[in-house]
Structure formats: structure tokens, C-alpha cells
Structure 1
Amino acid sequence: MKYFAVFFFILLPIFVFAQEKENSATIQGIIKDDNSGLVLPAVNVINVNTVKGVITDEKGAFSLEAFANDTLHISLLGYKSIKVKVTNDWIKNKTTTIQLTQKAYALEEVVVRPYVLTGYLEIDAKLIPTRENYRYSISGLSEGYEAGEYSPSAFGRVLGSIFNPADMLYNFFGKKPKELRRLKEMKKDDTVKNLLASKFDRETISALLGVSKSEIAEILERCNYSEAFVKSANDLQIMDAINACYEEYKILKR
């Protein structure tokens, strides 16, 4: 009886994995411009649930493994990003057509304000703002994107957030363990990684983590990343920064 129980628990994960593979399906789709009807190549399609992604070919077509009720995040520069739910009908029919809408951009007035220097070093040093970048991290890139040491108050601020139930950081890290575990998975998929490295709009991170863009900025501020970094970093760097802060959270929470 004991040997049977051991044998059963050895086979159980294999059986569960087989069941999951059986319930998943390779879905297909064609993405078009909703105005012209033309197919759209190079569209990024990411399964938010599995954190796997693909890019449409020259015919606007893609194929991706998914489960029923999975959410696909679809984005292309110049078009409005959308989320699409994988339905049983889609899995049954294998393919579907998805339409994207072009964005309308309004040009804003640009005001250039050069620094007015006096020629006196002591005065000019106070007029020119300095960047207070306290942290460094490299997300598979050839060079770092923020310089310096930790701010003297960094540890205290993160620690205070972690143990304050009313704090935004406490609630984010405490209530989204599933989404945060995806952070490491994101970097394993080249399509997702390359997409994040080329974007600065926070849309994909927002979809993958289930938070708003403003919340992303607040999370990084609570983790003591500088305002300059939050505004200038690409999405891959932002994702890596959140992951670094989450790893600190897990250590301090023990």
C-alpha cells in the first residue's frame, strides 16, 4: 500500500500536466486595420496568463497556445492596444479575425526653456537641477540605466511600506503574488522581452500586472527609484525594477 501511494504521487504531476496540455489549444488569428481592411504585420500578441508571445507575419497571421478564458494583449505602434478573451468558439473554430484602430495624435505645443546662467558658479550650480539617481540594475542589457547608491532613506521607506497595511506597496505586493511571479517568466520569452525593451508607454506592463500606469509610477516611487528613471526607462527596465523591489519585499517579509 505504501509503494502504491508513492507511485500515485509520482504519477499525479504527470497526469495533471497531461490534462493541462490536453485542455490547451493552438489558436490562430489574422489582424487587420479596421479602416482599410489591410492585414497588419509585426503586431505583438501576448497571452497575459501564460506570458508567452508571438508577432504576426507579413500576412497579419499568428498562432499561439492558449486556454479558454485566457486574455491576449494585442499592440502595435500607432494603433490602440486591445485585450481579447479566448473563447471556446475560437478554440473550436481554430481561427478568427481581429481589427485594430489607428490612434489619433494631437500635436502639443513645445516650449523650450533654456537655463539662464549668470556666470557665477555658486549661483548657477543652484539653478541647474540635478538628478538624484540612487539605484542600479541591468536587465540583460549592455549597460546600466541608473547610477548611484541607495538613498539613505531607501531601506526605511520600503520597510515602512511593507509593514503598513494601508500602504499602496503593501497591498500591491501582498495581493498580487500570481501576477508578480510572472515577472521572471516574462524575460524567458524573447518576444515579450524584446517588446518590453522597445516600449516606453507602460501599456504591456499594466496589462500583465493588472495595475494602472499611475500605479506603476507610484510603486517605483515607493521603492525609491528616482523620478528621472521612472520617466525615461523603457518597459523592460521598469519591469526589472519592480521585480528587484519585489525580491526585497519577500526577504524583508520573512
Structure 2
Amino acid sequence: MAQQDIERVLVKGKITAPIGEDVESVSVYNISSQKGTITNAEGLFELEVAENDRVQVTALQFQSFTVIVDAGVIESERMAIYLNPAVNQLEEVIVRPYDLSGNIIADLNRIKTATINPGWDLSYETLEFEYEFSADESTSVKGNKAEEAYYNGQKQASLDFVGLAGLLFPKKNKNAEQEFANKLILHTALRQRFSNSYVSETFGIPENRVNDFLYFLEERGVKRELLKAENELLLLAFIQRESAMYLKKLDSK
């Protein structure tokens, strides 16, 4: 049975953190079902899960981590996640509920945030080709085994999309923030489904352009219905058509 077709229960969740830490607009994405949501101002969320589902949590000020759902979460129909800033660097962040009530403590590295200069050109072309971002002591953990497994061993850019959404859009502008969160969910689903090597070998996209191609697909309007297991052939046909257009665009440059 496909992961998307497994019977799931609606779990009420809450993310808490030390005083002063923001718990709004945290992305909670069920990798197994390829569906997700974001928390409200109180850190509350609802998500359908099944036992052994892998739920990825991404917050602005902490590194991402994955929760493996156990029987306690299913029985209690609740998931309480406490984000605990870690002092030491962690090589792997996969956590399981530590009791039968769905309570979870995640020891995480804090990610330094910065204010966006209103004068910056934040178009995708500028971010991709003109600005150079280098690693420093605040860069997220390298060699994260959980993340490597999630991305089939391929290296990923460390741009924090949820954090960027919070910086770009004022909290009152919920429509813009929700749209950005939807794009994040779509991007995560595509990365989960297709590895760099698969996209390159199947559609002829240069491997160093796969990320750019996926953003191109998102801008072209990938419907979320295409991500369902029963629409696999429709999704592949869509990507095939768009890959021809993308390659033609590359050749014209």
C-alpha cells in the first residue's frame, strides 16, 4: 500500500520553546504523506499522521529535524514538541516521542537570523547568480545523516525558506505568508520524490541545474493533485513537457 493511501488520524499538535523564541509559521511537513501545514501564533497545528510516519519540522531559528510518529501519538491524538536550543553541535536530529502521550523534546542548534535590507534585489535571478553566500559559524550542521538520507545523499542549499518568508512578509500579511508556505510544501514534496540524478537522467537536465529546474516547475504551476500516487504518470508527463521548454530556455541564453 502506498504511503499516501495509509489510513491516518488527525493529530492536534503544539510547538513550544523557551520564552522569547517565536513559534509562529513553523513548517510541519509529513514526508510520508507529502502533506503539511504551518503553526499559528500560539504554535498550534493539525496534521494527519500514521504510526512510523516521518514528520519534518522546520523553524526559522533552529535547524530542521524529523519526528518519527509512534503509537503514543496515534492513541493520544496529540503531539507536543518542545524546541530546546542545544549547546553542542548535533550530527543527527531524528527524534521519537519519549513517552506514551506524544510529548517530544528536540535539542536543536540555534540558527542566527538577520534583517533583510529593503534595498536588496531579492528576485530569484539575483539570488541565484549575483549574491554570494558563504558559510560561517552560524551555518547549519554539516554531515546530518537524517537529512542526507532524506535527500538520497545529495547536497542541498542551506537557504531557510520558512525563515525567509517570515522576514519578507509582515505578520499581518497572512495571504503572502501562506502562499510562501504552500510553495515550501510543494518544493519539499518534489525534492522528496525526485533525486538530482533521476531528474538529470530522465529529463536531460544538467545536474547542476536541477534545483533551478524545480523552481521553474513551481513557477509554471505544478498542481498539488499531481503529487498524489495515482497521478504519477500525469506528473511525469507534465515534467517532460516543461523540461523541453526549460532546456530550450537554457539554449537561448
TM-score, structure 1 as length reference: 0.40
The one of the two structures with greater contact order (alpha-carbon pairs below 8 A, sep at least 6) is 1
Q: Which has the larger radius of gyration?
A: 1
